[in-house]
Amino acid sequence: MAMHTDHKRSDELPDVRVDNQEEVKMKKTVFLGALTIAGLAAGAAAAGTLDDVKARGTLNCGVTTGLVGFAAPDSNGEWNGFDVSVCRAVAAAALGDPTAVEFVPTTGKTRFTALASGEIDMLARNTTWTFSRDVDLKFEFVGINYYDGQGFMVPRDLGVSSAKELDGATVCIQTGTTTELNLADFFRANNISYEPVPIETNAEAQQQYLAGACDVYTTDASGLAATRATFENPGDHVLLPEIISKEPLGPLVRHGDNEWADIVRWTLNALITAEELGVTSTNIAELAAGTNNPEINRLLGTEGTLGEMLGLDAEWSKRAIMSGGNYGEIFAKHIGESTPIGLARGLNAQWTDGGLLYSPPFR
Amino acid sequence: MTTLTDPPQGSFKVSMLLNDTRYRSYTFQFIALILLIAAFAYLGSNLAYNLAEAGLNISYGFLGEPAGYDINQRLIEYTSQSSHWDATIVGVLNTLLVAFLACVTATILGVIAGVLRLSNNWLISKLMSIYVEAFRNVPVLIWIIIIFTVITAVLPGARAYLGEDPDVDLTLGMFAFTNRGIYIPAPVLGSGGMAVVVILLASIMAMFAYRSYAKKLLFNTGRLLPMAWPSVAILILPAVIAFYVLGQPITLDTPDPLANRFNLRGGIQIGAPLIALWFALAIYTGAFIAENVRAGIQAVSKGQTEAAASLGLRPNRVMNLVVLPQALRVIIPPLISQYLNITKNSSLAIAVGYADITATLGGITLNQTGRAIESVLLLMLFYLVISLSISTVMNLYNRAVSLKER
Asked if B108 and B114 count as a contact pair (C-beta separation under 8 A), the reply is: no
CA distance A341 to A243: 18
Query: Is residue A141 scored above 60 in pLDDT?
Result: yes
- Of A308, A299, A363, give the one whose Cα is nearest residue A326: A299
Domain that holds residue A62: 47-147+249-353
- Of B162, B31, B103, give the one whose Cα is nearest residue B284: B103
Interface test with B, best of A171, A215, A254 (most B CBs within 10 A): A215
Residue at A362 is within a domain = no
Residue at A359 is within a domain = no
CA distance A68 to A203: 10
Length in residues, chain A: 363
Residue at A215 is within a domain = yes
**In chain A, what is the straight-line distance between the N-terminal and C-terminal CA atoms, in Å?**
57
Asked if B132 and B113 count as a contact pair (C-beta separation under 8 A), the reply is: yes
Query: Is residue A18 scored above 60 in pLDDT?
Result: no
Looking at the fold, whether A232 and A274 belong to one and the same domain comes out as no
Looking at the fold, whether A88 and A220 belong to one and the same domain comes out as no
Sign of the C-alpha dihedral computed for residues B306, B312, B314 and B317 taken in this order: negative
Specify burial of residue B136 (Cβ count, 10 A radius: 0-12, 13-18, 19+): middle
**Chain A partners of B372 at a C-beta cutoff of 8 Å?**
38-40, 113
Contact B373 A18 (CB under 8 A): no
Interface test with A, best of B49, B262, B373 (most A CBs within 10 A): B262
Interface test with B, best of A128, A195, A216, A218 (most B CBs within 10 A): A195
Asked if A144 and A127 count as a contact pair (C-beta separation under 8 A), the reply is: no
- Of A253, A243, A126, give the one whose Cα is nearest residue A177: A126
- Distance from B163 to chain A by nearest Cα, in Å? 13
Contact A24 B42 (CB under 8 A): yes
pLDDT at B155: 87
Contact B68 A198 (CB under 8 A): no
Name the least confident of A37-41, A179-183, A212-216, B389-393: A37-41
Percent of chain A having pLDDT more than 90? 53
CATH superfamily of B84-185+254-401: MetI-like (1.10.3720.10)
Residue at A40 is within a domain = no
- Distance from A183 to chain B by nearest Cα, in Å? 8
Query: Is residue A23 scored above 70 in pLDDT?
Result: no
Q: Tell me, rounded to whole angstroms, the distance of Cα B301 from its chain centroid.
A: 31
Count how many domains chain A has: 3
pLDDT at B205: 92
For A82-92, write each residue's pLDDT tens digit: 999 999 999 99
Looking at the fold, whether A187 and A271 belong to one and the same domain comes out as no
Residue at A134 is within a domain = yes
Residue at A107 is within a domain = yes
- Tell me the DSSP string of A55-95: HHSSEEEEE-S-BTTTBEE-TTS-EESHHHHHHHHHHHHHH
Looking at the fold, whether A266 and A328 belong to one and the same domain comes out as yes
pLDDT at A5: 39
Contact A197 B50 (CB under 8 A): no
For residue A38, the chain B residue with the least C-alpha distance is B373
pLDDT at B131: 93
CA distance B352 to B144: 8
Residue at A39 is within a domain = no
Backbone angles phi, psi at A89, to 5 degrees: -65, -40
Residues paired with A153 in a beta bridge: A217, A239
Looking at the fold, whether A188 and A166 belong to one and the same domain comes out as yes
Backbone angles phi, psi at B271, to 5 degrees: -65, 150
- Distance from A316 to chain B by nearest Cα, in Å? 30
Classify A143 as helix, strand or coil.
coil
Contact A43 B53 (CB under 8 A): yes
Q: What is the DSSP letter of A157?
A: G
Specify burial of residue A286 (Cβ count, 10 A radius: 0-12, 13-18, 19+): exposed
CATH number at residue A253: 3.40.190.10
SS3 content of chain A, % helix, strand, coil (to 5): 45, 15, 40
pLDDT at B10: 62
Asked if A335 and A69 count as a contact pair (C-beta separation under 8 A), the reply is: yes
Residue at A322 is within a domain = yes
For A258-303, write each residue's pLDDT tens digit: 999 999 999 999 999 999 999 999 999 999 888 899 999 999 989 8
Looking at the fold, whether A319 and A184 belong to one and the same domain comes out as no
Specify burial of residue B329 (Cβ count, 10 A radius: 0-12, 13-18, 19+): middle
CA distance A106 to A103: 9
Contact B41 A2 (CB under 8 A): yes
Query: Is residue A4 scored above 70 in pLDDT?
Result: no
CA distance A261 to A121: 10
Chosen domain end from A223, A245, A267: A245
Query: Is residue A59 scored above 60 in pLDDT?
Result: yes
Looking at the fold, whether A15 and A4 belong to one and the same domain comes out as yes
Contacts of B267 (CB under 8 A, 6+ apart): B174, B176, B183, B184, B185, B186, B253, B254, B255, B256
Neighbours of A200 (CB within 10 A): 19
CA distance A59 to A120: 8
Specify burial of residue B406 (Cβ count, 10 A radius: 0-12, 13-18, 19+): exposed
User: What is the amino acid identity at position B226?
Assistant: P
Looking at the fold, whether A341 and A272 belong to one and the same domain comes out as yes
Query: Is residue A248 scored above 90 in pLDDT?
Result: yes
Q: How confident is the model at residue A1 (pLDDT cuts 50, 70, 90)?
A: very low
Flag whether residue B260 sits within 8 Å of chain A, measured between CB atoms. Answer: yes
Asked if A196 and A222 count as a contact pair (C-beta separation under 8 A), the reply is: no
Q: How confident is the model at residue A22 (pLDDT cuts 50, 70, 90)?
A: very low
CA distance A214 to B263: 10
- Of A210, A246, A362, give the one whose Cα is nearest residue A301: A362
pLDDT tens string for chain B (406 positions)? 455 555 555 677 888 888 888 888 888 899 999 999 999 999 989 888 888 877 777 888 889 988 888 888 888 889 888 999 999 999 999 999 999 999 999 999 999 999 999 888 999 999 999 999 999 899 999 999 999 999 988 888 888 888 777 777 777 778 888 888 888 888 888 777 788 888 889 999 998 999 889 888 888 888 888 878 888 888 888 888 888 888 777 888 888 877 788 888 878 888 899 999 999 999 999 999 999 999 999 999 889 999 999 999 898 888 888 888 888 888 988 999 999 999 999 999 888 889 999 989 988 888 888 788 889 999 999 999 999 999 999 889 888 877 777 6
pLDDT at B5: 58
- Distance from B267 to chain A by nearest Cα, in Å? 15
pLDDT at A36: 41
Residue-wise burial string across A259-277, b where 16 or more C-beta atoms lie within 10 A, e elsewhere = ebbbbbbbbbbbbbbbbbb
Query: Is residue A37 scored above 60 in pLDDT?
Result: no
Whether the predicted interface score ipTM is above 0.90: no
Specify burial of residue B11 (Cβ count, 10 A radius: 0-12, 13-18, 19+): exposed
Looking at the fold, whether A219 and A261 belong to one and the same domain comes out as no
Looking at the fold, whether A323 and A181 belong to one and the same domain comes out as no
Query: Is residue A39 scored above 60 in pLDDT?
Result: no
CA distance B205 to B196: 14
Q: How confident is the model at residue A117 (pLDDT cuts 50, 70, 90)?
A: confident
Looking at the fold, whether A143 and A288 belong to one and the same domain comes out as yes
> Within a 13 Å sphere around the CA of B207, how many CA atoms are in the beta-carbon half?
19
Specify burial of residue B267 (Cβ count, 10 A radius: 0-12, 13-18, 19+): buried
CB pairs under 8 A between A and B: 162
Interface test with A, best of B2, B6, B45, B50 (most A CBs within 10 A): B50
Q: Residue A35: which of B47, B263, B376 has the nearest Cβ? A: B47
Looking at the fold, whether A21 and A101 belong to one and the same domain comes out as no
